[in-house]
Amino acid sequence: MFDTLTQRFDGILGGLRGKGRLSEKDIDTALREVRLALLEADVNVAVVKSFLSRVKERSLGEDAARSLTSGQQIIKIVHEELVTTLGSEVSKLKKTQPPLIILLVGLQGSGKTTTAGKLAGLLKGQGKRPLLVAADLQRPAAIDQLETLGGRLDVPVFSDPKGKAPKLAKAALKEAAKTGRDVIIIDTAGRLQIDNQLMKELADLRKATDPDEVLLVVDAMTGQDAVNVARGFQDQIGLTGVILSKLDGDARGGAAISVREVTGAPIKFAGVGEGLGDLEPFYPDRMASRILGMGDVMTLIEKAEATFDEAEAETAARKMEKGQFTLEDFLAQFQQMKRMGPLKDILAMLPGSGSLLREVDVDDRDLSRVEAIIQSMTPEERRNPKIIGGSRKRRIASGSGMKPQDVNRLLKQFAEAKKMMKMLAGGRGVPNLDSLMSGQRSKR
């Protein structure tokens, strides 16, 4: 996500971090590099001009002039103005009397149908009772795709392949009222490009359903084209928000940075993966921090809270303290961590990890190999690795598609990790929290 742009910003702003007062020439040089980075990321030219103008005005202003750490001050200004460009505040779905009607619009191939499923899954997880409506009657596989997604989510799908979209949508509203559904998500037809026929069909759908939200699904990988599409839909249909799909792909960042300022429509959600759970609320401040290589600790914490079982985590912590942590426990924790998403994405949320990730090749396949080795062990071997001798190592290696050396390496690493866990939990050489607190109390 924004890898190239993040690297450019890291290089540009990294040179300012250690500096004190900056001259106007220093600021101009840095902002010229920022301008090139944004244009290379396919950010809208007008947005780049406005952004840099605000940054320079504030950088040369009275507050920055008085600062003893002007380099740090400019980084702070760049971050704040990037947040402003992205939308300043989190934009949530409207709170209305049920049902909440959401009309999803967008071009063909933008990921609209998949996004409909992801949105239904997200809202269901919040206690809502969504109904998916298959109003894309142009693409032959659209109805089947939505019904498959609905089946995986256990969310009903309303469809009628022989009907007309506006009539179908009206019937879906009646069905929702009859079955007690409080959110209606309508998947609409798309085209390869904006045309009058598409706009008329969407206008008719809007008139028939009177939606609370009209959300444009935009492919983040299309860069500047995505901004032009968003502007076209805003001018002809009217939007209440935008969903950026495929933000986890090779996105240069131009669409995310430009679309809110160009259209005035806030970005409400971002698709960050292919799974049905990979749709997140869009937080402008967190996204700005990611783009500038400052990490995103809040999202990391939320992912961990949603993924990890609290009771299991407490049990694992107690076992660590007693030195009883086994490969079986490690595998359970490992599998929970995998559900948070690709390891590289998780590490990218840690502040300052950008330069580290460029130097280290993080490959989830390596982690899968470790998992395969542990799963090839018997329960007894996982609980007591000391019994694993030469013949057992060969069997485990064969069962996991690895070599005995790989099994040896894993067992050695686990033994060292277990020793470190015991030390950190209050064993030899490393005091635990209780001893530190009692030491502080005795000093008082």
CATH code for position 139: 3.40.50.300
Q: Are residues 165 and 274 in the same domain?
A: yes
Q: Using alpha carbons only, how large is the chain's radius of gyration in Å?
A: 26
pLDDT at 188: 92
Q: How far apart are CA 371 and CA 354, in angstroms?
A: 26
Which residues fall within 8 angstroms of residue 138, CB to CB, at 6 or more apart? 189, 190, 191
With beta carbons less than 8 A apart as the criterion, state whether 327 and 392 touch: no
Which structural domain, as residue segments, surrounds residue 379? 304-424
Residue 432 lies in a domain: no
Helix (H, G, I), strand (E, B) or coil at 157: strand
Residue 93 lies in a domain: no
What is the maximal distance between C-alpha atoms in the chain? 81
Distances (CA, A) of 389 to 367, 385, 403: 23, 9, 14
Does this model's pTM top 0.75? My answer is no
Eight-class DSSP state of 105: E
Q: Are residues 257 and 135 in the same domain?
A: yes
- At 248, phi and psi to the nearest 5? -80, -10
**Among candidates 213, 218, 265, which has minimal Cα distance to 245?**
218
pLDDT at 235: 87
Which two tokens mark 440?
A: 């502080």
Q: Are residues 346 and 408 in the same domain?
A: yes
Residue 266 lies in a domain: yes
Q: Are residues 74 and 10 in the same domain?
A: yes
pLDDT at 255: 78
Residue 37 lies in a domain: yes
With beta carbons less than 8 A apart as the criterion, state whether 414 and 320 touch: no
pLDDT at 361: 53
Q: Are residues 150 and 262 in the same domain?
A: yes
Q: Are residues 8 and 75 in the same domain?
A: yes
Residue 440 lies in a domain: no
Q: Are residues 166 and 283 in the same domain?
A: yes
pLDDT at 171: 94
Which two tokens mark 407?
A: 């099994």
Q: Are residues 274 and 313 in the same domain?
A: no
Q: Are residues 54 and 195 in the same domain?
A: no
What CATH number has the domain bearing residue 402?
Answer: 1.10.260.30
Residue 26 lies in a domain: yes
Q: Are residues 82 and 122 in the same domain?
A: no
Q: Are residues 180 and 317 in the same domain?
A: no
Residue 437 lies in a domain: no
With beta carbons less than 8 A apart as the criterion, state whether 120 and 185 touch: yes
Last residue of a domain, one of 235, 259, 287: 287
With beta carbons less than 8 A apart as the criterion, state whether 331 and 371 touch: yes
What CATH number has the domain bearing residue 53?
Answer: 1.20.120.140
Q: Are residues 226 and 324 in the same domain?
A: no
Residue 380 lies in a domain: yes
Walk along the chain (444 residues) and give the pLDDT tens digit of each residue. 566 777 777 777 777 766 666 777 878 888 888 898 888 888 888 899 999 999 888 887 755 555 544 667 777 888 889 899 988 888 889 888 889 999 999 988 888 999 999 999 999 999 999 999 999 988 878 999 999 999 999 999 999 888 788 999 999 999 999 999 999 999 998 877 777 888 888 899 999 999 999 999 988 877 777 788 888 888 888 999 999 988 876 556 677 788 888 888 999 999 988 889 889 899 888 888 877 776 555 666 666 666 666 666 666 667 666 667 788 877 777 777 666 666 666 666 555 555 444 444 555 676 778 888 999 999 899 888 889 999 999 999 999 999 999 999 888 888 877 777 666 555 444 333 333 333 333 433
Q: How many residues does the chain have?
A: 444
Question: Structural domain tally of the chain?
Answer: 3
